[in-house]
Structure 1
Amino acid sequence: MRPEEADPDARWLTLVMHLTFYVLHLTALIRFIQRHPSSVNTTLVIVLAALLAGIYAAGVGRDTYAPTDPSMRRPQALRVVWLAAVVLVWAVLVELAPSFAWVAVPLIYAALRILPPVAACVLVGVLTVFVTIAQLRLAPRFDLDLVVGPAAVAGFATAVFLHMKRLAARQRRLIDDLIRTRRELAATERRAGTLAERQRLSMEIHDTLAQGLSSQQMLLQAAERTWDRDPAKAHGHVRSATKIVEHNLAEARRFVHDLAPADLAVSGGLPQALRTLAGRESDERLRVLVHAEEPGGPELPERVQSTLLRIAQGALANVREHARATTAVLTLTTLDDRAVLDVADDGRGFDPATLPETPQGSRGHGLPAIRARVRQLGGTLAVESAPGEGTVLTATIPLVGGQASD
């Protein structure tokens, strides 16, 4: 694509310059023929005028007025050869017929666009000298205006053109910088989105699949230990493990399709999902109780329900793995402006000051992951515990003015 095809302004300027050339060329030829109808040079002038018009027309399709790419060390050879041929024929024509002097106007713009600034200024000076000499030859006597006028106009036009050319080059650099910055920003956003998605996936896997696999492992180990002395109990452990496998499979399918937790698919919403979770997590080692108030107003947003259920799953996984508790209690309280989930256990407790703010080590999750989930919805997480005194985890999610609405 040629530059003037890409830029409507350049295409318009190209058209104006071509029309200007041919109007000045035709006017000069008519003026010469009217004043010198039978001169010995008339035929030669007509031939040279036709040659100039032909050479100029040959260059019209070669981006005559398109600016040279600033990244190139020198302009294209064909454009330079074309310009040299046009100027040479024009100079001979002006020597024979000074009326053609003003055809230099479009040639000056061609020189400024095709040549580097220094070479263009030199050629503009040469063209101006030819125009000045031609005007003096046509004048009945010496006139200082004919010397100063063309030089002043050519100098002013050249300065303005070079200034605009520098502005255009600066604008191109700014556009290139903007495009490069947008690409870098897009790459940064993609990296940030990838990291956020990786964190989300890791939390989902930890709170669902990993927890289920851990429960299956403990049940199967218990079945193995009791297989010989108490086959009925061992079979019960295997059946419980099978149910967990079925639930994990449902979680995995919904997880792949980015749907809500499987427990929320049943009727009853979050309270029923917490009861289902408690029943699945309860065994001879840990008893899980649920106190859930049915919401009096509108049902909690799906995102809030999903987050609170994941928090409950992660908290119970921590209780089972670290607390050595015998009882855990899930309490759901729904108010007008917030939803509160408390997870309390009677385990060995710990010092909350030792908790990391972000996932660390190979384990990588637990309470830091729960805290990240709460913050995503603009909520708060409080942990009350002490060694030997159990633990109470409280997650509060705002329902008005926060990020919890669907």
Structure 2
Amino acid sequence: MAHTALTPVFVGLRTGLHALFVALAGLVVVRAIAVPTAASAAVVALAILLIATYAAGGFVARIARGRGRPPALAWLAALTVEWIALLWLTPEAAYLVFPMFFLFLHLLGRWWGSGAIVIATVVAICALGIHGGWSVGGVVGPIVGAGVALLIGLGYQALAREAQQREALVQELLATRGQLAATEHESGVLAERARLAREIHDTLAQGLSSIQMLLHAAERADPERPGVEHIRLARETAADNLADARRFISELTPPQLDDNGLGGALRRLASGPWLTQGLQVTVRVSDGAPLPMHLQTGLLRIAQGAVANIIQHANATAATIALEVQDRRLRFSIVDDGTGFDPGRVPDARGGRSDSFGLQAARERVGQLGGVLTVDSSPGSGTTLAVELALENAS
């Protein structure tokens, strides 16, 4: 079992079970020696054999990991036969039925183990009646022990299942955290690339373009003046450097936005793998002022996250991505015909719900762009996610 917060509990229970079994078997040996009978030698030998068989359980468990349950069931059958033989010789062996209950429940499962516990209880009651006569204590004692063992054993199994579920949840959370970290890193890299492209375009490229134009004007103003060849060489050098700057800008541009800008990237998104999953995505992009690269990148990431959420949660058949730019104001919306939800009941990402993280991340991204994100949805009526911002406020 993988180490969890409940591992010390399991180790303590198992250690206590082992100690109880050995102590009860040792009690049988001590009783046989202290009160000798004709069967004392056989009782001592059989009790020692029982302890040795029980101790071999660890070796059998290692074999069972590679060969399945048969070795463990064979070991349990041998231990049960030895216990019944010892019980035939001495009534003190009836006490061993209590740790045997847990073995039955652990190795045979809930239902078969419970049946084995009932049978073992009947055997212990009959043995006590045959050896020492029938009494209320001889009947009630094993029955109470069986009930206690069932409760403890079932509680142990419930704890084990909970530990496995928690371990699976922790692994899932760790994997999700790694994916989120990778996504955030990628987003940061893309944002930095877009920022550098914007800075190069707004400063270096513009400056080189202005220098080129001024030198060209100077060259045309007096083409026969002395030193005009130096002006021509400076103009050509500025033109070459401007071409290099534009190449740097192109290389820094996110790959999805290389061709046809945001509209082309959204159309490629619409023709992605969503079609094979039953979602038809329509893109409507209006002609308007060219958008800054960082704004195009942010809107593309929002669209990618929204479409992924529609596939995972909305059970939608159609979605529409629309981009409108009018009077220096931008509206970007993603509408689907899915099952919808109650936006008021979606917790903040700090609440730990993985399905609300994408929405929170979109809000934060839109806030960084200087806009506002609104979500209009209700159960059974689809969802509309809209981004509105003024282009002069887009940071």
TM-score range, shorter chain: 0.5 to 0.7
CA distance in 2, matches of 1:80, 1:35: 35
Structure 1 residue aligned with 2:17 = 17
Match of 2:97 among 77, 100, 104: 104
Q: Summarize the Cα distance change of 1:2–1:173 in structure 2 as closer, same or farther, 3 Å threshold.
A: closer
What value does the CA root-mean-square deviation take over the aligned residues?
4.5
Quote the residue 2:124 is aligned against.
131
Supply the distance in 2 between the matched residues of 1:83 and 1:215 (Cα, whole angstroms). 86
- The code of the aligned residue for 2:153 comes to F
1:58 to 41, 56, 74: 56
Which residue identity lines up with residue 235 of structure 1 in the other structure? H
Deviation of 1:102 after TM superposition, in Å, equals: 0.8
Q: State the AA in 1 paired with 2:328.
A: T
- The residue aligned with 2:193 is 201
What per-residue deviation string (whole Å, max 9, x for no partner) do you get for residues 225-252 of structure 1? 8379256466347547868959x99xx9
Other-structure match for 2:43: 45
Greater fraction helix: 2
Cα offset for 1:378? 8.2
Please, which runs of 5 or more residues in structure 2 have no aligned partner? 253-291, 293-324, 333-363, 372-390
Q: Which has the larger radius of gyration?
A: 1
Runs of 4+ in 1 over 6 A off after TM superposition: 1-4, 372-375, 393-397
Distance in structure 1 (CA, Å) of the matches to 2:43 and 2:173: 58
1:354 aligns with 2:346: no
Q: CA deviation at 1:223?
A: 5.1
Residue in structure 2 matched with residue 272 of structure 1 by the alignment: none
- Identity, in percent, stands at 20
Report how many residues are paired.
264
Selected match of 1:229 from 217, 223, 226: 223
Match of 1:190 in 2: 182
Tell whether 2:145 aligns with 1:153: yes
CA 3–242 in structure 1, closer or farther in 2 if over 3 Å, else same: closer
Shift of 1:352: 7.7
Please list every run of 5 or more consecutive structure 1 residues that lacks an aligned counterpart in the other structure: 257-313, 315-350, 359-371, 380-392, 398-406
| Structure 1 residue 58, shift from structure 2 partner | 1.5
- The DSSP-based 3-state class of the residue aligned with 2:85 is helix
Can you list the C-alpha shifts for 1:162-192, whole angstroms capped at 9, x where unaligned?
1331243034224413431442244134324
* Contact 1:374-1:395 within 8 A present in 2 as well: no
* 1:269-348 superposed matches below 5 A: none
2:31 corresponding residue in structure 1: 31
CA distance in 2, matches of 1:142, 1:373: 79
Q: Which letter maps to 1:353?
A: D
- Using the TM superposition, give the Cα deviation of residue 91 of structure 1 relative to its aligned residue in structure 2, in angstroms: 0.7
How big is the shift at 1:158?
Answer: 0.6
Aligned partner of 1:291 in structure 2 is none
User: Match for 1:165 among 145, 157, 161?
Assistant: 157
**1:98-128 deviations in whole A, cap 9, x for unaligned?**
2211112222222222222122112212221
The alpha carbon displacement at 1:95 in A equals 0.8
The TM-score with structure 2 as length reference comes to 0.53
**Matching residue within 70, 77, 86 for 1:93:** 86
CA distance in 1, matches of 2:164, 2:366: 47
1:53-103, CA deviations, whole angstroms, 9 ceiling, x for partnerless residues? 221122244559xxx99xx9x963222221111111111111122221111
Q: How high is the TM-score relative to the length of structure 1?
A: 0.52
Change in CA separation of 1:35 and 1:195 when aligned onto 2, cut-off 3 Å: same
Who is 1:322 aligned against? none
Contact 2:21 2:99 survives alignment (8 Å): yes
Q: Is the 8 A contact 1:223 1:238 kept in 2?
A: no
Q: Secondary structure at the match of 1:116?
A: helix
